[in-house]
Structures are given as structure tokens and as C-alpha cells.
């Protein structure tokens, strides 16, 4: 290989801001091979020359023609890039100017049956089956909806599975850490206040009444953090009502000896969960419908892009 061609390869590489290592990785050769080309110690084979031309998006003749100015070659490539699409029925190739890349119709494959749309610039696939299943893969994320109502949506806004939004990975971790910290603080403060109150009552009340009567304060301290858990998961069922009922029952029993008939308070526990379970379900369904509407908007936008 001539020294002129070797220098030309160096200039093309530098014009594209590539190091020898980066170029070698793209061509699947060693960095030493690139170095030998550019020192004119060896020549690229035909396959490597073709790959270089493709990489620089220029004709092979312009890559090898040392008489043609490199800046002029790159300017022509920028001003008039062409793309070739293969037509299966006629085995013909057609060339399009770069402006056609912005036209969805000229860069898309559409199959009416099953409604498959493939857009190659930028990459975009949207498929709908006759059964009602729908899949979108593209710049707006991955969205899958099945006819049975199951859905998965992954985008920059986060992860949504069957209407439940979990946020992106970073936000999920931050959110979990945030609520864990709040729950830890509430739990610690509740136990601390219960301990302080118990000690004060124990030392101040006569006849050891404080020590005997107010130990259920520690049950209350265990109950309070469940509010944070319920708020985090948007679920009333997360509130540990049995602990609250146990606290009230023990206090009434210790203070007023009302062990009977106040045991009836425990009947509140099943009633509570019977009442709040449908409410939790309604909240979940509402969130699912809200996210489904958002997903429909995404699909409509994707259809419009087709």
C-alpha cells in the first residue's frame, strides 16, 4: 500500500474522531493491524476496505482515490447520503436522498395482516395481532398489551406492570430508600416516646400503677409505623389494625377491668378488612385504568408516527 493511501486512511479516521483502538473494534481487527495500515506496512483486504467505506459512509472509489480531496468527499457524503431498499417482488434497488430518511413512508415496512409496522430510521417496530395483542418497540420504550388485559410498559417514565407503576430503577431505589428511612424514623421515635412515657408513668404513679397498667404503650409503638407502609403501597390493608385493637383492649382491661365484654372489639378486625379490601381493589383498578389511558395515548402517538 502506498504511503499516500496510508495517510488518507489516517485522515479519514481522524475526521471521524476515532482512535486506532476504536476503529479496530468496529472492524473486528487488532489495533496493531490498523497501525500497520497507517504506516503502510500492510494493506487492508477487500472486505476491510468495503467495511471502511461503509463506516465512513462514502463510496469505495472515494476512499481509494488519493487525488480527491477528503473534505470534499465528506461534504458530498453529508449533503447527499443515499439509502437502498430492496424490493422483494422486483429484485430492484432504489436510491433515496437523505431528506427521504425523514419520511416514514419511504423508510417503513408495513404489513397489513396483523398490522406490522417497521420503521428503520429511527428504529421502530409496532405489531398488532388479530387477537388484539399489541407490541411496540422503539424510542418511546417497550409496550406490550395482551387481549386478556395484562400489560407491561417500560419507558423513561418507569416500569408499569398491569397498571402498577414502579418508576424507573433509580427512582424505585430512591423511593424505597426514602420510605424505609421514614419508616425507620417513625418506628424509632414511636418506641422512644413509648419508653419515655412508660418510665415517667411508672416512676410518678403510686402503687406501681404505671408499671402495671401502661406497658401496652409498646404495642401502640409497633402499630404507628404501619401508616407509613400503608401510604407507600396505597393500601389500607397495610395498617396493622389488630395491634391497635389489642392496645385498646389491654388498656381498657388494665384501667377498668373491662376484659369482658370488650373482647367484642376483636370482631372489628375481620370487619375492617372486609370493608377496606374492596376499597384497596378500587384504588388499584383506578390506578390501572389511569395508566392504561396513558398507555393508549402512547400507542396512538406511535400509530400516528407510522
d(CA 44, CA 53): 12
Which 3 state secondary structure label does DSSP give 127? strand
No. of helices (H) and no. of strands (E), the chain: 13, 10
d(CA 173, CA 220): 29
- pLDDT tens for the chain, 306 residues: list them: 688 888 888 888 898 899 998 888 888 888 888 888 888 888 888 888 888 888 888 888 888 888 888 888 888 877 655 444 433 433 444 444 444 444 444 444 444 445 555 554 455 666 777 666 777 777 657 777 776 667 776 765 566 666 665 555 556 667 778 888 999 999 999 999 999 999 999 999 998 999 999 999 999 999 999 999 898 888 999 999 999 999 999 999 999 999 999 999 999 999 999 999 999 999 888 877 776 555 455 445 554 554
Q: How far is the C-alpha of 246 from the C-alpha of 264, rounded, in Å?
A: 11
> What is residue 101's predicted lDDT score, i.e. its pLDDT?
43
- The domain spans of the chain are 3-79, 109-167, 169-286
SS3 141: strand
Q: Which three cell numbers stand for residue 32?
A: 496493531
- DSSP-derived secondary structure letter, 137: E
Q: Is the peptide bond before 285 cis (omega within 30 degrees of 0)?
A: no
Count Cβ neighbours within 10 Å for each residue of 263-280 and write b for 16 or more, e otherwise: eeeeeeeeebeeebeeeb
Distance CA 70, CA 39 (A): 19
- Domain 3-79 in this protein, CATH class: mainly alpha
Judge contact between 36 and 25, C-beta under 8 A. Answer: no
Looking at residue 91, its pLDDT comes to 43
Which position has the grid cell 489516517? Answer: 10
Amino acid at each position: 500500500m502506498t504511503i499516500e493511501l496510508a495517510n488518507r486512511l489516517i485522515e479519514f479516521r481522524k475526521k471521524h474522531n476515532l482512535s486506532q483502538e476504536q476503529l479496530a473494534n468496529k472492524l473486528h481487527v487488532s489495533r496493531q493491524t490498523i497501525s500497520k495500515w497507517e504506516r503502510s506496512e500492510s494493506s487492508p483486504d477487500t472486505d476491510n476496505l468495503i467495511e471502511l467505506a461503509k463506516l465512513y459512509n462514502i463510496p469505495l472509489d472515494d476512499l481509494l482515490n488519493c487525488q480527491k480531496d477528503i473534505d470534499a468527499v465528506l461534504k458530498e457524503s453529508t449533503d447527499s447520503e443515499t439509502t437502498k431498499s430492496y424490493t422483494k417482488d422486483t429484485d430492484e434497488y432504489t436510491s433515496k436522498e437523505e431528506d427521504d430518511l425523514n419520511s416514514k413512508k419511504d423508510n417503513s415496512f408495513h404489513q397489513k395482516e396483523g398490522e406490522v409496522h417497521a420503521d428503520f430510521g429511527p428504529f421502530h417496530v409496532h405489531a398488532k395481532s388479530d387477537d388484539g395483542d399489541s407490541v411496540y418497540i422503539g424510542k418511546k420504550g417497550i409496550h406490550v398489551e395482551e387481549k386478556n388485559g395484562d400489560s407491561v410498559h417500560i419507558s423513561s417514565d418507569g416500569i408499569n406492570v398491569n397498571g402498577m407503576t414502579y418508576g424507573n430503577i433509580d427512582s424505585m431505589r430512591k423511593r424505597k430508600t426514602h420510605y424505609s428511612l421514614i419508616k425507620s424514623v417513625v418506628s424509632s421515635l414511636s418506641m422512644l416516646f413509648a419508653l419515655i412515657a412508660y418510665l415517667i408513668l411508672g416512676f410518678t404513679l403510686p402503687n406501681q400503677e404505671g408499671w402495671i397498667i401502661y406497658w401496652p404503650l409498646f404495642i401502640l409503638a409497633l402499630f404507628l409505623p404501619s401508616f407509613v407502609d400503608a401510604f407507600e403501597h396505597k393500601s389500607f390493608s397495610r395498617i396493622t389494625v389488630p395491634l391497635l385493637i389489642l392496645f385498646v383492649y389491654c388498656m381498657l382491661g388494665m384501667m377498668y377491668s373491662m376484659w369482658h365484654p370488650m373482647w367484642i372489639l376483636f370482631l372489628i378486625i375481620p370487619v375492617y378488612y372486609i370493608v377496606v379490601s374492596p376499597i384497596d381493589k378500587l384504588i388499584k383498578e383506578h390506578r390501572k385504568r389511569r395508566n392504561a389511558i396513558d398507555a393508549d395515548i402512547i400507542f396512538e402517538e406511535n400509530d400516528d408516527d407510522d
